[in-house]
Amino acid sequence: MAFSNFDTHAFLRDYWQKKPLLIRGAFGNWANPLDPDDLAGLACEDHVEARLITLDRERWEAEHGPFPEDRFGALGKMPWTLLVQAVDHHVPAVAALIDDFRFVPNWRIDDVMVSYASDGGGVGPHFDHYDVFLIQGLGQRRWQVGPRCDEATPLLPHDDLRLLADFRPTDEWLLEPGDILYVPPRFAHNGVAVGDDCMTYSIGFRAPSRAELIGGWADDLLESLVDDDRYEDPQLKVQANPGEIGAEALAALHAMVTEKLGDKAAFARWFGEYSSTRKYPEVDWGPEEPFTAQELREALAGGEPLLRNPASRFSFVRGEAGAVLLFVDGESYDCSGVTAAFAEHLCAGSVVEAGPDVVKSDPAMDLIATLFNQGSLGFDEG
């Protein structure tokens, strides 16, 4: 599947982070990539994050998985929806949906949540903190969107669900398979299944909060700071009032903080490692016995492509003189020459071929062996 009817440049300019957009028939050849029974099967597995939301006479209830296999058959006529997180980590055809959205950088992409709803099912009117593309996969869903919300927007009292107390839709559409609704962060929205067998694929994004950035970066810095790195004042002068924290002292104290926090190269390394850390480390592709660089070299020389583990995260920053700092699953790798070019190639697409220069390069093969043996890369085993 691929977009046949969607201008990504115009979308980024006019809608991304700005306003909702309905995209009718964005895929020329939409085919629902996952069977509802297989989704239910995933929701019964340990290590898969799943929720079941039911609406029983105006009362919203949320249950968390894993679910017993007979749970869904027992729901009867009340509207319900099952939501499964990170389905792309388990189902390659769902992971492939992300390929069309790669006009957004890897580090902003979260995962694909898939929902299945019975007639009338939904999660209720709410807002999310992130952008989302809601692809209608199977059946029909009525989507309504409303204004942008904030922390002050009133919510219904509920232990588990953040539902809007007063949702006033401004637009409404009935989505058919292959239609997409884009909803920017904090816009109120509500999707209700029209008829049974309604499946929605949510391509979800992420954006760090300032609190998360400051907290995470400061924690990282703290690990390298020593106790005797301390305020010093060998030029101390008598001051008129000993109670004053003088301007010079304040400036020196402030500089002690900002010099460290302002180190851009160290920040880039920390942020790359932080943002490439896996959300679900359980999806383990690591081989039972580690491969040697030589064994991998032989396989790659035979034309075998490498696949990125969909649960792994890949990104890079450019350094000086063609150097590349590669980030994979929370670790950073300094790359130059052939390895730097390969690192960029690795970040660009989910299937990666290693050319003859890569196969000949010892540093490139060492990098591949490390990534392969830790399960970030693998071969297609069908």
Q: Which is nearer to Co ion, 183 or 300 (CB)?
A: 183
User: Interface residues with ligand SIN (CB under 6 A)?
Assistant: 81, 115, 122-123, 128, 132, 134, 189, 191, 200, 202
Minimum distance from CB of 127 to Co ion (Å)?
7
Residue least distant from ligand SIN (Cβ): 115
Token representation of residue 340: 């730097």
Q: Which secondary-structure segment (H or E) carries 62? A: strand 59-64
Tell whether residue 273 is a contact of Co ion (CB under 5 A).
no
> Which one of Co ion, ligand SIN, none is in contact with 311 (Cβ closer than 5 to 8 A by kind)?
none
Reduced to 3 states (helix: H, G, I; strand: E, B; else coil), residue 2 is coil
Q: Which is nearer to ligand SIN, 125 or 363 (CB)?
A: 125
Which residues inside 110-149 make contact with Co ion, applying CB under 5 A? Answer: 128
Please, which residues have CB within 8 angstroms of residue 17's CB and are 6 or more apart in sequence?
A: 131, 184, 185
Q: Which is nearer to ligand SIN, 54 or 200 (CB)?
A: 200
Minimum distance from CB of 123 to Co ion (Å)?
7
Q: Which is nearer to ligand SIN, 186 or 269 (CB)?
A: 186
Which among 141, 148, 196 has a CA at the least distance from the CA of 174? 141
What distance in Å separates the CA atoms of residue 302 and residue 356, rounded to the nearest whole number? Answer: 10
Q: Which is nearer to ligand SIN, 43 or 367 (CB)?
A: 43
> Which one of Co ion, ligand SIN, none is in contact with 36 (Cβ closer than 5 to 8 A by kind)?
none
- Per the CB < 8 A criterion, the answer to whether 333 and 367 are in contact is yes
| Radius of gyration in angstroms for the set of CA atoms belonging to the chain, rounded to a whole number | 25
Minimum distance from CB of 191 to ligand SIN (Å)?
5
Q: How many helices (H) and strands (E) does the chain have?
A: 10, 15
Q: Which is nearer to Co ion, 88 or 131 (CB)?
A: 131
> Which one of ligand SIN, Co ion, none is in contact with 122 (Cβ closer than 5 to 8 A by kind)?
ligand SIN
> Which one of Co ion, ligand SIN, none is in contact with 115 (Cβ closer than 5 to 8 A by kind)?
ligand SIN
Peptide bond into 105 cis (omega under 30): no
> Which one of Co ion, ligand SIN, none is in contact with 339 (Cβ closer than 5 to 8 A by kind)?
none
Token representation of residue 6: 């969607």
Output phi, psi for 206, to 5 deg.
-145, 155
> Which one of ligand SIN, Co ion, none is in contact with 374 (Cβ closer than 5 to 8 A by kind)?
none
Give long-range contacts, CB 8 A cutoff, 24+ apart: 65-72.
Answer: 67/43, 68/44, 69/44, 71/44, 72/40
Name the residues that contact Co ion, by CB under 5 A. Answer: 128
